[in-house]
Structure 1
Amino acid sequence: MRGARAALAFLTRLPAGPLDSADFARAPGWFGIIGLGLGALMAGAWFAASALWPPVIAALVAVAVGLALTGGLHEDGLADSFDGLGSGRPAERALEIMRDSRIGSYGALALGLVLALRVAALTALGPMAPVALIAGQGLSRAAMTLMLRAGPYLRPKGAGTGMTGPFGARGALTLAAALALGLGLIGWAAGWGGLTGLAGLGVMVLAMRRWAMRRLGGITGDVLGAAQVLGDVGFLLGVLAWP
């Protein structure tokens, strides 16, 4: 279970105990499972808040809990990616901009719009929001694993360094289990809406990867984070799109 603990340490602010670099090599196979767990905690927050307040506040509370659990890790990657990729500068300069801890106008606009879309989508989903939270958080983090495997990873030292090699049969089975659980859950709750949700996730993740490949020639940890956030929002919007 050291790979699971490494994934927990990498994706969240939750305590995971002492780990070494070899543990992080096995972490990507557990991204989807950790995402499902994060979604479950966010869904619990949604249920608690919805007992007291209107749906929009329940959605805001759920999103805030997710940000607290992860420290805004992926959202930071989203902002950095849009600042760097949207700058129009050559690849080397764009990578430097993405390293800058300061947020620029592109990043701020992207972050604000995406968070607003997430809250609006969860509000519109109503009673289906908890299921969509669990499935979306799990599937979007499984997509991070798939993107990391597709590569190439650009930075010799970065968030994904040490995670680009094979993670073994157990990691592959764990990733498959996370995908099956996420798809089964949303299929049970939303029927064919689960497929449109998966399509929305796929479009967003592939668009993010294509943008990074065209501008940089590969991916970084920031790009992975951006793909997770956009994939989750695309999933929620896709579920909503089914009549």
Structure 2
Amino acid sequence: MAEAGTRLAGPRLALSWLTVLPVRGPDAVDRSVAGAAIRWAPLAGLLLGAVATVVLYGLVAVGAPTAVAGLLTVAVLGMGTRGMHLDGLADTADGLGCYGPAPRALAVMRDGGAGPFAVVTLVLSIGLQVAALARLAARPSDWPVVLLAVLAGRCAFAWCCRRGVPAARPEGLGALVAGTQHPVVSALPWLLLAAAAAAATPHRPWQAPLAVLLAGALVAALSAHTTRRFGGVTGDVLGAAAELTTTAVLVVGSFGPG
């Protein structure tokens, strides 16, 4: 029984961290368990993506305007993660936008307020997601793009936590998960998603794989830049990576005739 509980510690922690599901995480969390949770993060993405897909197309089916359906879907995703990733995106934007060395940027990120960089970034990200979801809502055959986008957002965590990337702070989520992922484990989900993504846009089989690869390139650039700017990874950077990836896949996946 204890061995089974140990094996399930990673997925339990992933679901309790990354969703509002009433899943109790393990009593003790060390770097081993935290690293396992990062590897299991796509499970949370799969569940959240399924909910988002049902909400979007369910609302359209009962007569909701596509823009309203898109906005409510973004709201459901925000509530489903306690707004954690949006908060991370906002804090990362403020940290990158401030002047001064890494300690100053990290102090800005810890501040409870939202600066102008955070506000603009949130408005842009949410606006792009709503617009892309509204376009996808008008193309029911492309529903897998919604699932793919949310799933890819959770695959972004592993790349940011790969070996060689230190924690920006000696405490916090970043310190628990930094450097816990083998580089192959970090890159493999992107390759698998890109290979499977052609089914998401059957009439344009190149489009969804392109969206995944572009999102992966953006996450790699974000990870490299935040490592230089902050000195390593933080929990906020993980949230920013998830939102950046989700937005990129939705936007590129929404291109094409309505």
Q: TM-score scaled to structure 2, two decimals?
A: 0.83
Tell me: higher relative CO, structure 1 or 2? Use CA pairs within 8 A at least 6 residues apart.
1
Residue 129 of structure 1, CA deviation? 5.5
What SS does the aligned partner of 1:31 have? helix
Partner of 1:145: 158
Q: Tell me if 1:21 matches 2:29.
A: yes
Residue 179 of structure 1, CA deviation? 6.5
**Compared CA separation, residues 128 and 213, structure 1 to 2 (3 A):** farther
**Compared CA separation, residues 214 and 237, structure 1 to 2 (3 A):** same
**Compared CA separation, residues 130 and 64, structure 1 to 2 (3 A):** farther
Q: Tell me if 1:216 matches 2:230.
A: yes
Contact 2:88 2:238 (C-alpha < 8 Å) held by counterparts: yes
**Compared CA separation, residues 42 and 129, structure 1 to 2 (3 A):** farther
Q: Paired residue for 2:44, among 22, 27, 34? A: 34
Where does 1:81-92 land on structure 2 (aligned, <5 Å)?
A: 81-92=92-103
Q: Paired residue for 1:121, among 128, 132, 136? A: 132
Partner of 2:120: 109
What SS does the aligned partner of 2:171 have? coil
Residue 184 of structure 1, CA deviation? 5.6
Could you list the runs of 5+ residues in structure 2 that have no partner in the other structure? 1-7
Q: Paired residue for 2:68, among 57, 60, 83? A: 57
Q: Greater Rg, structure 1 or structure 2?
A: 2
Could you list the runs of 5+ residues in structure 1 that have no partner in the other structure? none
Contact 1:77 1:223 (C-alpha < 8 Å) held by counterparts: yes
Q: Tell me if 1:236 matches 2:236.
A: no
Q: TM-score scaled to structure 1, two decimals?
A: 0.88
1-structure distance, mates of 2:196, 2:36: 26
1-structure distance, mates of 2:142, 2:114: 30
Residue 203 of structure 1, CA deviation? 2.9
2-structure distance, mates of 1:225, 1:57: 25
1:29-78 C-alpha deviation (Å, 9 max, x unpaired)? 10112111110011111122112201111111211110111011011001
Contact 2:194 2:213 (C-alpha < 8 Å) held by counterparts: no
Identical counterparts, % of pairs? 34
How many residue pairs end up in the alignment? 239
2-structure distance, mates of 1:200, 1:119: 19
Superposition RMSD in Å: 2.5
